[in-house]
Structure 1
Amino acid sequence: MLKMAIMKNRKTRRTKAIRYVLMAFLSTTLNGAVNASDAGFTNPILRGGYPDPSICRKGDDFYVVNSSFEYFPGLPIHHSKDLINWELIGYGLHRPEQASSAVNLVDVQSDGGIHAPSIRCHNDRYYIITTNVYSPPEPGVPTQMVNFVITADDPAGPWSQPHVIEGAPGIDPDLFFESDGTVWYVGNHAPENPAFQGEGEIWLQQLDPTEWKLIGERYFLWRGALKGAIWAEGPHIYKKDGRYYLLIAEGGTSFDHAVTVASSDSLTGPYIGNSRNPILTSRHLSYDNWVNSTGHADLVELDDGRWFAVALGIRSDIARRSNMGRESHLIPVIWEEEPYEWKAEKLTWPVFAPSSGRVERENPSPFPGTRQNKPSTFVDNFDQANLKLDWNFRRVPKPGLFSLQAREGFLRLYADAALPRNRGRASLMGIRQTESDFEYIAEMKFEPLHEGSQAGITLFQKDDNYMRFTVEQTDSGYRLAVHVREARSEYENSLETLELTDYQGRIQLRIDSSKSSYALAYSLDEGKTWAEVASVPGDKFISQGYTGAYLGLFALSQQNQPGDFADFDWVKYAPRPRF
């Protein structure tokens, strides 16, 4: 009876899946090419710096978590009902005390911090497991890989304090919940006898989920499928029809990035690689393909038996790169049995993007009839009790950095004497740049007490790569200044200065990005007229590391002259997608 029920359930799910595929096919065929206005969707599904996506499902709800590296709050979590429209609902690391001790985001180095999380739901409880990569500032002290788990009853939070897993080397861990009730830690490390420099190995060990300790024997599963490909990492294990599937990333997170898969009839191995590996990559395509570096995937099964994957990729908007860095994309997945007649046991494997084998920009909707919302304008009038979720800081901000209560309807940003620097915490906050073309405006009231204090807007990639567009008090009044620090340069350059003879304490500052160039302008009459100050090439802020660009607010004071601040009335960010 049980076997018959299982077979009936599988048949029902297969019928649903076929119906959805046919509906999507007919929708695409009858309507022609899918575009943003049809019942389809455009990749990426999470636009802006949202790399290393991991996905889970509970009922009709989907959740994605992404790497956040040195940013705070960390571990952004999005929710969706249809896989194509996503809402930011919270962060896994949302309290300073979660990120100020064993997990250190206070003085973490650039491109350190939170790497490649995995989100899972088990028995109505949510788990995120991830790594904090921290290099102590003391010379000669080795980098620390702090692997930890946080839990929550609601993915919107609150999330627990980190449970650090001792004795767990490597990065990019995953949790696998076996049907017998055991919990398993899946990680990577450098093997004892590597065949080549940079070789990685995936390992597995049982985890006690009450004491958060590794127990029992450690099993070494797989070193990857691509000959000479470095960094076997990002492992995820799935169980389907009694077999286990190990999905990993290989080749590094640039143009050679790839997804490969292996399978075993036992959780602990041995694992056999798919002869058609890699199953997702852009390494075989032109460097000028619309998206490159695709990889680091995670799979999710729908209620009707269909499968999809989320994976990262980099849009080739500017010189084969982009200012947004690595973003999250959605890919359909089917499972196919091997056709080889000579094989005694024919294995079944996942096939990514079965019609093309690559991440496509335009796609049919996973649920026919649903439409993807167009990228919307972000406006913050600072009239809420708490800061909107979109705002991030580079590292855990200093206490008292800003206030939403000091002046009603304004965000007050207190000036600090620090410029952006590695491990530093400047008076700086921002939202993600989500498109290459956009308009960003902020209205500011700024009347400091001390000469040399300045405040305004900014675009920043890293501690050593940013642009500041500020109002500065001088000995004779006020002036506008544009400062640019190019990637990996030691100092910033003053690009432009302009005396503000008619400044009365209130100003609008604008960055308008078009044709791969940033135009900076200001208005003293509430946006009625604008005067352009400078134009900065967009390629000066191409993502060079793990994260993308942010558009933000900034305030600077001179040393030993505290007390100055800027009041921001509102901020508006209007993206202009290049569909």
Structure 2
Amino acid sequence: MFDGCLGAPYGGSPKEASVFVNPIIPGGFPDPSICRVGETWYICNSSFEYFPGLPIHESKDLVNWSWVGHGLHRKEQVSGAVNLVDVKSDDGIQAPSIRYHDGTFYIITTCVYRPPDSDEGKCTNFIVTASDPRGPWSDPHVIEDAPGIDPDIFFDDDGKVWYVGTAAPAKPNFPGEGEIYCHELDLKNWKFTGERHYLWRGAVHGGVFVEGPHMYKHEGSYYLMAAEGGTGVNHSVVIAISEKVTGPFYPNDRNPILTSRHLSYDNWVHSTGHGDLFHLPDGRSYMVCLGIRAEEGEPGMKRSNMGRETYLLPVTWEREPMEWHSLGPSGKRLWPVCSPETGKVERTLPLPLGVDQRQSHNNFYDSFEKAALDPEWLFRRVPKDGMYNLNGPGLRLKASPEVLAERTSCSFMGVRQRQTEFEFSAKMSFEGSTGVAAGVAIVQKDDNYLTFMVESGKLLVALKEKEKDERNIATIDLPSYSGSIVFKIRSADHKYNCAYSLDDGSTYTSCAEMAASHLLSLGYTGSCLGPYCTSRGQVTESFATFAWVRLSSEMQ
């Protein structure tokens, strides 16, 4: 049993099955952590500068995942010590662990915040709890004197609860060296108790950027698993073992147990790492991890527009062949082996439980008829009050003075791009006023986006690339525009094509095209697509109304 991930094995065998396609949760869902309660698995991912934060999905078959909600879903949760109001891009909420114990769900994670004009950041490590994963989730319980990022929470057999964190050693042996520690945690007072135990600095030759630790207990031994090598092409998963939760821990001689660093940069998926182990009810083991698809860009370092996504792979266990060991106690140690047949993350694999994959994530439609937003929607930082309303009909999006910019909350809301090839469309009503622009956008980051908007009787398509000024791709006069337009952005053959319709979608006119590689994910998150409305610095009461938004994707 993995006490860190729940679930005592029981008898049974999987049905005859076909295959599923990785990633199991496509789109910008990095740093997956998983737990099981009864017959349901839950995955939580990091969310960085986006709000709501800590997205949660559920599944009963490990290949079809549906929305549960978010661990950070109220503005009050993220407007204090946990700050998503003016957070810098790629800071914010990082690498959670989700666990369940005695009727309570726990998500433990880090909020990184760097003040303006400073590279010195603060890591606030905290826990949110809920009796129901759909919420409500508690306000953050901040753990003081907890340095580092990516903490884990581990419930031991003896009733003790351990915080497992990372820190920079006082005397590092080389730049980038990290160290994993554990500290007993008093959950009544959300404080440390007792002494701190320093456990491990990474793989056998010394690890760079060791992070994302997870503690497990399996067949009487404690396993400490971590990410290492940075979250790029040298990313990996490493593991160590101990007879005690407080160490000492001894590394697996076959570390890393998962990586793509030995493969081509153009392997279909690279940068694989940051895993979380778990058991199936019948005793088989699996791992979820992150990876980046190599589908766009120049050969030699292809990437994707979706960024880091969630993958699934099988795990078996093998004992060392030798009776002795140069480090630590003697004996034949038991170690996990990732993807035992190939040693890598595969695009297709046998279905874990024989249930066909429906690929429901590839399609999204919203006509804004519900009282609350669909959990698919997200904002770059905490949205300002009154930015939107659902009083109907449709979504009313107010034109804010702010534009897409670092540390800014503007009137943009999006859904994640799920596949490289897709068709995104939205119907908008907008009367227009001087200096106000309304339409849709694909946003990779605050300094990397495509906008497709109506302004002053013209249709403008603009591209902003990193370290370059925003430039117009197309300007089209709209003499017959009467206040209603349907936008369409299609991604195919490594290109984005922009088209519009003034007759409610009966006919479309193509107006701009560009290489999709202009919006490659180079950070921690992926592209989002959605409505955007700005008054470019002026205060106005103008708004745009969106009747519906549709995203349709095809599997690659």
TM-score over 0.5 (shorter chain): yes
CA distance in 2, matches of 1:284, 1:429: 39
Structure 2 residue aligned with 1:393: 379
What's the CA shift string for 1:502-554, capped at 9, x where partnerless? 10100001100001110001001111111111001111100010000001110
Shift of 1:179: 1.1
CA distance in 1, matches of 2:271, 2:417: 19
Shift of 1:417: 1.3
Shift of 1:452: 1.6
CA distance in 2, matches of 1:80, 1:63: 7
CA distance in 1, matches of 2:263, 2:204: 17
2:414 is the counterpart of 1:430: yes
Q: 1:242 aligns with which of 220, 233, 243?
A: 220
Structure 2 residue aligned with 1:572: 550
CA distance in 2, matches of 1:404, 1:226: 56
**Matched residue type, 1:332:** P
Instruction: Classify the secondary structure of the residue corresponding to 2:458.
Output: strand
Shift of 1:197: 0.2
Give every structure 1 segment of 4 or more consecutive aligned residues whose post-TM-superposition deviation is greater than 4 Å.
Answer: 12-15, 341-344
Structure 1 residue aligned with 2:303: 321
Shift of 1:181: 1.0
Structure 1 residue aligned with 2:357: 372
Shift of 1:240: 0.8
CA distance in 1, matches of 2:284, 2:104: 24
What's the CA shift string for 1:245-276, capped at 9, x where partnerless? 00000000011000000000011000000011
2:313 is the counterpart of 1:331: yes
Shift of 1:214: 1.1
CA distance in 2, matches of 1:231, 1:201: 9
Structure 1 residue aligned with 2:331: 345
CA distance in 1, matches of 2:51, 2:375: 11
Contact 1:487–1:541, Cα closer than 8 Å, also in 2: no
Shift of 1:138: 4.9
Structure 2 residue aligned with 1:188: 166
2:475 is the counterpart of 1:459: no
Residues 488 and 75 (structure 1), Cα distance of their counterparts in 2 relative to 1, 3 Å cut = farther
Contact 2:400–2:539, Cα closer than 8 Å, also in 1: no
Shift of 1:409: 2.6
Structure 1 residue aligned with 2:3: none
Contact 2:58–2:67, Cα closer than 8 Å, also in 1: yes
CA distance in 2, matches of 1:50, 1:558: 31
Shift of 1:139: 4.2
Structure 1 residue aligned with 2:113: 134
**Matched residue type, 1:462:** K
Contact 1:322–1:436, Cα closer than 8 Å, also in 2: yes
Contact 1:59–1:303, Cα closer than 8 Å, also in 2: no
Question: Comparing 218-227 with 180-189, which one deviates more in the overlay?
Answer: 218-227
Q: 2:91 aligns with which of 96, 112, 121?
A: 112
CA distance in 2, matches of 1:426, 1:561: 13
Question: Comparing 346-355 with 480-489, which one deviates more in the overlay?
Answer: 480-489
Q: 1:55 aligns with which of 28, 31, 34?
A: 34
**Matched residue type, 2:48:** F
Instruction: Classify the secondary structure of the residue corresponding to 2:419.
Output: coil
2:405 is the counterpart of 1:421: yes
- Alignment gaps of 5+ in structure 1: 1-9, 28-38
CA distance in 2, matches of 1:350, 1:390: 35
Residues 285 and 14 (structure 1), Cα distance of their counterparts in 2 relative to 1, 3 Å cut = farther
- Alignment gaps of 5+ in structure 2: 1-6
**Matched residue type, 2:112:** V
What's the CA shift string for 1:459-517, capped at 9, x where partnerless? 001110011100012xxxx000011100233x311221110011010000110000111
Contact 1:444–1:508, Cα closer than 8 Å, also in 2: yes
**Matched residue type, 2:314:** P
2:261 is the counterpart of 1:278: no
Shift of 1:356: 1.0
Contact 1:487–1:540, Cα closer than 8 Å, also in 2: no
CA distance in 1, matches of 2:416, 2:147: 31
2:130 is the counterpart of 1:152: yes
CA distance in 2, matches of 1:354, 1:14: 23
**Matched residue type, 2:311:** H
Contact 2:324–2:332, Cα closer than 8 Å, also in 1: no
Contact 1:41–1:365, Cα closer than 8 Å, also in 2: yes
Q: TM-score scaled by structure 2?
A: 0.95
Structure 2 residue aligned with 1:363: 349
**Matched residue type, 2:102:** N
CA distance in 2, matches of 1:115, 1:44: 20
Contact 1:403–1:413, Cα closer than 8 Å, also in 2: yes
Contact 2:64–2:359, Cα closer than 8 Å, also in 1: no
Contact 1:483–1:492, Cα closer than 8 Å, also in 2: yes
CA distance in 2, matches of 1:385, 1:352: 44
Q: TM-score scaled by structure 1?
A: 0.91
CA distance in 2, matches of 1:107, 1:14: 48
Residues 514 and 153 (structure 1), Cα distance of their counterparts in 2 relative to 1, 3 Å cut = same
Query: What count of residue pairs does the alignment treat as equivalent?
Result: 541
Structure 1 residue aligned with 2:472: 494
2:150 is the counterpart of 1:172: yes
Structure 2 residue aligned with 1:469: 452
Map 1:42-81 to 2 at 5 A: 42-81=21-60
Contact 1:189–1:201, Cα closer than 8 Å, also in 2: yes
Shift of 1:238: 0.2
Query: What's the RMSD between the two structures over aligned residues?
Result: 1.5
Question: Comparing 221-230 with 279-288, which one deviates more in the overlay?
Answer: 221-230
CA distance in 1, matches of 2:514, 2:498: 8
CA distance in 2, matches of 1:13, 1:115: 31
CA distance in 1, matches of 2:58, 2:536: 43
Shift of 1:229: 3.9
Shift of 1:342: 5.2
Contact 2:9–2:279, Cα closer than 8 Å, also in 1: no
